[in-house]
């Protein structure tokens, strides 16, 4: 936890610490949702029977054993393999943007990555890290030991946002790195061509990997709270544009709505989870709601 406190603001470090309690409530749902989809053929082997005790899930009762013995027994299973997860994070220059929120898009993703890493390690699944802009900039090999949590946040703390958002090349590089079916948790503002973005993400899915896209935008990028004459800056090109926000606000919001809708539709057609987020949403609440909704679908 030392690495967390060194990097995150004290109040955010405190939120990360409280994940321990939250994890107790949602890790079972996370395991059921992730391990059941799309790995619903996930291989398990029977381990042993044991007597039913208070708190066991009634769905695990072996009714055939009950018919023979008139006693309740539950089946214990052991998974033959764990799922290998990768946090794949966009560190392009546009991720450093914030208008009035405490967290930039990058900071928000760091918190989200910390929470997901913690939960993966709680269920003893290996988790690794890959960061990119227009190419992969850093990677950390997946491991399931608890020290991986600090290792990942330590790696994130050294990163600087730079370069342009581009998914095709770095995801091709990632695909070449993967040796087993994996869970890819992509975090990006996806400020690139939609078709190129969808093509790159689908490439991972077609190769047999499970993909979750966390589309993180700043609150101002979604809701456009500006009025009057404003100067807008493209952080990746440095281009400045003066506009009358009152004239373009409605069109901008409609274009953002269509942008997210197109991404959502494109992902769902290939059974890729698409999670639209903005930095005004508490990251832990957003994560919890998503994981529970995923569990309920399977």
Do residue 143 and residue 182 come from a single domain? yes
The answer for residues whose C-beta is within 8 angstroms of residue 173's C-beta and 6 or more apart is 132, 135, 136
Give the tens place of pLDDT for each residue, 75-87.
655 444 568 999 9
Q: Specify the number of domains making up the chain.
A: 2
Do residue 152 and residue 30 come from a single domain? yes
Question: 43, 41, 62, 40: which is closest to 51 by C-alpha?
Answer: 62
Burial (Cβ within 10 Å: 0-12, 13-18, ≥19) of residue 230:
middle
| DSSP letter (8 states) at residue 245 | H
| Beta bridge partner(s), residue 136 | 132
Do residue 174 and residue 199 come from a single domain? yes
| DSSP letter (8 states) at residue 271 | T
**Which residue range forms the structural domain that includes residue 194?**
2-34+83-296
Supply 131's token pair. Answer: 């960061």
- Check residue 89 and give its pLDDT: 96
Q: Is residue 39 one of the residues assigned to a domain?
A: no
How far is it, in rounded angstroms, from Cα 189 to Cα 192?
9
Do residue 117 and residue 228 come from a single domain? yes
How far is it, in rounded angstroms, from Cα 202 to Cα 204?
5
- Check residue 36 and give its pLDDT: 45
What stretch of H or E contains 151? helix 147-157
Task: Provide the total of helices (H) and of strands (E) in the chain, helices listed first.
Answer: 11, 10
How far is it, in rounded angstroms, from Cα 234 to Cα 120?
35
Give the tens place of pLDDT for each residue, 216-225.
999 999 999 9
Q: Is residue 118 one of the residues assigned to a domain?
A: yes
User: How many other β-carbons are positioned within 10 Å of the β-carbon of residue 53?
Assistant: 8
How far is it, in rounded angstroms, from Cα 188 to Cα 55?
40
User: How many other β-carbons are positioned within 10 Å of the β-carbon of residue 56?
Assistant: 14
Question: 166, 196, 210: which is closest to 262 by C-alpha?
Answer: 196
3-state helix, strand, coil in the chain (%, to 5): 45, 25, 30
Do residue 179 and residue 58 come from a single domain? no
Q: What sign results for the dihedral spanned by CA atoms 64, 66, 69, 75?
A: positive
Q: Is residue 148 one of the residues assigned to a domain?
A: yes
Do residue 158 and residue 184 come from a single domain? yes
Q: Is residue 160 one of the residues assigned to a domain?
A: yes
CATH number, domain of 245, equals 3.40.50.410
Task: Note every long-range contact of 67-72, with CB atoms under 8 Å and residues 24 or more positions apart, other chains counting.
Answer: none
Do residue 186 and residue 48 come from a single domain? no
CA 46: distance to chain centroid? Answer: 31
- Listed as ranges, residues in the chain with pLDDT below 50 are 1-8, 16, 19-46, 78-80
Place of tokens 């899930």: 57
Do residue 27 and residue 98 come from a single domain? yes
First to last CA, the chain: 33
Do residue 145 and residue 58 come from a single domain? no
Q: Are 155 and 113 in contact (CB under 8 A)?
A: no
Q: What sign results for the dihedral spanned by CA atoms 140, 8, 12, 219?
A: negative
What is the Rg, in whole angstroms, of the alpha carbon atoms belonging to the chain? 21
């Amino acid at each position: 936890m030392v690495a967390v406190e060194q990097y995150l603001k004290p109040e955010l470090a405190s939120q990360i610490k409280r994940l321990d309690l939250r994890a107790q409530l949602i890790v079972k749902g996370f395991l059921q949702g992730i391990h059941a989809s799309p790995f619903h053929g996930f291989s398990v082997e029977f381990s042993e029977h044991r007597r039913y005790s208070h708190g066991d899930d009634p769905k695990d009762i072996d009714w055939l054993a009950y018919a023979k013995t008139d006693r309740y027994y539950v089946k214990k299973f052991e998974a033959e393999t764990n799922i290998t997860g990768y946090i794949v994070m966009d560190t392009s220059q546009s991720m450093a943007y914030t208008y009035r929120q405490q967290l930039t898009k990058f900071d928000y993703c760091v918190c989200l990555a910390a929470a997901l890493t913690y939960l993966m390690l709680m269920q003893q699944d290996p988790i690794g890290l890959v960061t990119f802009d227009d190419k992969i900039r850093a990677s950390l090999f997946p491991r399931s030991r608890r020290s991986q949590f600090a290792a990942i946040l330590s790696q994130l703390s050294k990163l600087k946002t730079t370069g342009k958002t581009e998914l095709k090349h770095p995801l091709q590089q990632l695909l070449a790195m993967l040796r087993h079916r994996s869970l890819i948790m992509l975090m990006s503002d996806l400020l690139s061509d939609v078709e190129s973005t969808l093509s790159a993400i689908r490439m991972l899915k077609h190769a047999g990997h499970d993909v979750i896209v966390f589309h993180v935008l700043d609150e101002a990028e979604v809701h456009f709270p500006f009025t009057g004459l404003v100067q807008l800056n493209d952080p990746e090109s440095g281009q400045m544009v003066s506009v009358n926000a009152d004239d373009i606000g409605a069109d901008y919001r409609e274009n953002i709505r269509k942008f997210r809708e197109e991404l959502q539709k494109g992902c769902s057609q290939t059974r890729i989870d698409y999670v639209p987020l903005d930095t005004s949403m508490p990251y832990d609440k957003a994560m919890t709601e998503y994981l529970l909704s995923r569990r309920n679908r399977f």
